[in-house]
Amino acid sequence: MEWNKSSGYFIFLRRILVFSVVLGLIAIGVRFLVPSQYITPALPWLFLFFIAVTLSGYYFIFRSVDKKFIRFINSYILVTVVKLILFIGVIFLYLLNHRQDAAAFAISFFILYLCYMIFEVINLVSFFKPSRH
């Protein structure tokens, strides 16, 4: 089965939006269970940030799918390194300017990082998994 790059990207876009809505509903539920000092006010912005970074990285990786496999691996590694540097920079800048919110922000960032990283890897693996007829 031939894979259409644009439809594959739009499928991923729909999946990440549904995934983000589910995570957002979970975050709203947690907001009612946890005292407000443990929830960062930057949480809605973190969702937007992770959606944008994941979509951008996924697009860059998918541009290399039709090329050689080593090109795909290089693209994946490059995207991962750039994302990690970007994440460290965002964490550093936020914590430098909002020390009172440091723990809540760091915990929220780490949880969202894990969720979006697992989501992205699952989608990449499912893309390369051979389809069964």
Render pLDDT for 107-122 as a digit per residue (tens, 0 to 9). Answer: 999 999 999 999 999 9
Q: What is the pLDDT of residue 51?
A: 96
Please give the share of the chain, as a percent, with pLDDT higher than 70: 90
Instruction: Give the C-alpha separation, 48 to 23, whole Å.
Output: 12
- The answer to whether the beta carbons of residues 42 and 27 sit under 8 Å apart is no
* Token digits of residue 35: 């005292």
* Token digits of residue 63: 């541009």
Place of tokens 């490059």: 78
Kindly tell me if the per-residue pLDDT of 2 is higher than 60: no
Q: What is the C-alpha R_g of the chain?
A: 17
Kindly tell me if the per-residue pLDDT of 37 is higher than 60: yes
Sign of CA dihedral 35, 41, 45, 50: negative
Kindly tell me if the per-residue pLDDT of 26 is higher than 80: yes
CA distances from 123 to 1, 43, 97 (A): 17, 24, 35
Instruction: Give the C-alpha separation, 4 to 53, whole Å.
Output: 22
- The answer to whether the beta carbons of residues 51 and 92 sit under 8 Å apart is no
